[in-house]
Amino acid sequence: MDVVVVGCGSWGTAFSRLLADRGHTVTLACRDPARAAAMRESGRNPRYLTHVDLTGIDARATDEAGIESANLVVLAVPSAAYADVVAGLPGSAPVLSLTKGLDPGSGDRLSTLIRDRPVAVLSGPNIAEEIAQGLPAAAVIACESLPLAVQLQLAITSSAFRVYVNDDVLGVELCAAAKNVIALAAGGADGLGLGDNAKAALVARGLAEMRRLAEVAGARPDTFAGLAGIGDLVVTCWSKSGRNRRCGELVARGATPREAARTIGMVVEGLTTAPVLRGLAHRLEVEMPITEGVCAVLGGVSLTDLVGQLMERQPTVE
């Protein structure tokens, strides 16, 4: 296929390499024309995953990337920019969305912003650095069209990257958004040195509130036992490369959220998603105490005080 990957961050870069290794013709579309030119000249991304060899992958400014004639458009852009990107997307090729979050403007799932073409969503425990190294990983493609999902599955699956198919787009997208918020809390536990017992309990209860939210919204419970649910949650909460976990850790050690994001140097989706997810929970009348707590800490509440409040909540059944 002729594929255009929109977004030249770490995930867009790693996924471009993965697609090119599968024999597809890949163009990496960058917002910054100067970076695209540097990538063409050096065969490397000068800012993200600088060790990845991009030989055979074209890099162009977004308006010169040939999106209108592509067979597939892959979106790997921040959730805050997603609505603007899809609003101006030329052509009619199917979209494969890699972005994990919610639209901060409307609170909607990102795939619902694409109304003029088929859309599929890829999610799972996919640390970009590891995939770029060729380490084994797996993901799930969620799509309402089974033929499109299977077509993409066959086009992407390799000996190092195994893809499953799921038709629960709602569940997969809500998992992808919520796990980043729970990872901020997990990082906070790391930063305070609360230990593995506390962190494991937090992650388990985080999965419970993710599941409550999505079930009320109409998702399938089994999605949360899969790659998009527990799989992605675990890697995001434990990986040293996890941006959201690292951000929570830095905040717990005294940084402001803005300072933490600046130190990390990449988009921390949980910071954008947390208030949007809380708003969704309020609209659906779903109790999400960890998400509420993360939002409180991002607003300036002491993380130590929050831990005490969570531990002292009224005991209940699991």
Active centre residues (catalytic)? 179
Q: Are 134 and 3 in contact (CB under 8 A)?
A: no
DSSP 59-97: EEEGGGS-GGG-SEEEE---HHHHHHHHHT--S---EEE
Render 163-220 in DSSP notation, one character per residue: EEEES-HHHHHHHHHHHHHHHHHHHHHHHHT--HHHHHHHHHHHHHHHHHHHHHHT--
Beta-carbon contacts of residue 285 (< 8 Å; ≥ 6 apart): 216
| The two structure tokens encoding residue 310 | 């969570």
132 to 46, 86, 177, 268, 271: CA distances (angstroms): 15, 26, 23, 20, 25
DSSP characters for 202-266?
A: HHHHHHHHHHHHHHHHT--GGGGGSIIIIIHHHHHHH-TT-HHHHHHHHHHTT--HHHHHHHHTS
What's the full length of the chain, in residues?
Answer: 318
Angle ∠(131,171,86) on CA atoms, nearest 5: 70
